[in-house]
Amino acid sequence: MSQDYEKFIQNIKKKTGIDLSLYKEAQMKRRLTSLYEKKGYKDFEEYYQHMTSNQMLFDEFLDRMTINVSEFYRNGKRWEVLQEKIIPKLLGQNKKLKVWSAACSTGEEPYTIAMVLSNFMPLSSISIHASDLDENAIARAKNGTYPERSLQEVPAEMKNKYFTKDGMFYKVDDAIKKTVTFKQENLLADSFEQNYDLIVCRNVLIYFTEEAKDTLYKKFSDALRPGGILFVGSTEQIFNPSSYNFETEDTFFYRKQ
């Protein structure tokens, strides 16, 4: 690793607690280099110096490193498996489910979970914990306004029931919003609550180093109750689930033993 980038990592860790060394280096470095070059800085050192006195530069850095892309019912087929196979089984074991959307970005994922669960119980009995590193993403999640392209995979029935069109945008219903509690959390640094029935963590593990992933799978496994499920993204298969006490329940779904 170049000294310039290494120093930058140390500075960011001191300032924010975010440890960039746990993210894949080539990818992260490329993304940040193109950002500072566009701003006219010559290296990470100069970029960081300016960042310390310019909040906007800092926010832009956070925005670039977090990548908040999301959508409702992302990889629709997987949500069908959740609805038809996983949730009925979990509800056979526990009437009230403890659910966490980890790295929830702008809210599409936890709101999708709420819509899926609404097929099984009244919204008033649903309570979902949702967290992300990025406070701006959480603010947008709480606001709950989305462009049409985020809704492409939403089943028509859910779209009619839980969204209101507002000009070019769609607003998610307050009753759905009320099922979700958002919190700013760093998956790579904070401790987790325990006894979850379902943890949904999708499309963030791909950015982490193998060591960071390894630690995180262990922490997720510890945070689930026996029989609980971890639902990962569609490029994030776990290759050695048994070493984390997981059994494959279906593609991209792992059951804690």
Ligand X SMILES: C[S@@+](CC[C@H](N)C(=O)[O-])C[C@H]1O[C@@H](n2cnc3c(N)ncnc32)[C@H](O)[C@@H]1O
Residues of this chain that interact with ligand X (CB under 6 A) are: 66-70, 74, 103-105, 109, 132-134, 137, 186-188, 202-204, 233
Q: How far is the CB of 55 from ligand X (least distance, A)?
A: 18
Indicate the residue among 120 and 208 with the shorter CB distance to ligand X: 208
Helix extents (H) in 40-173: 44-53, 55-66, 76-81, 87-93, 108-117, 135-143, 156-162
Write the burial class of residue 152 (CB in 10 Å: 0-12 exposed, 13-18 middle, 19+ buried). exposed
Q: How far is the CB of 228 from ligand X (least distance, A)?
A: 18
Indicate the residue among 54 and 69 with the shorter CB distance to ligand X: 69
| Residue of 206, 226, 221, 202 lying closest to 130 (CA atoms) | 202
Q: Residue 163: beta bridge partners?
A: 172
Q: How far is the CB of 92 from ligand X (least distance, A)?
A: 26
Give the Cα separation of 22 and 212 in Å (integer).
Answer: 6
Indicate the residue among 97 and 216 with the shorter CB distance to ligand X: 216
Q: How far is the CB of 199 from ligand X (least distance, A)?
A: 11
Indicate the residue among 233 and 241 with the shorter CB distance to ligand X: 233
Indicate the residue among 181 and 257 with the shorter CB distance to ligand X: 181
Coil, helix or strand for 132? Answer: strand
- Coarse DSSP helix, strand, coil percentages of the chain, rounded to the nearest 5 percent: 50, 20, 30
Q: How far is the CB of 249 from ligand X (least distance, A)?
A: 19
| Number of other CB atoms surrounding residue 257 within 10 Å | 13
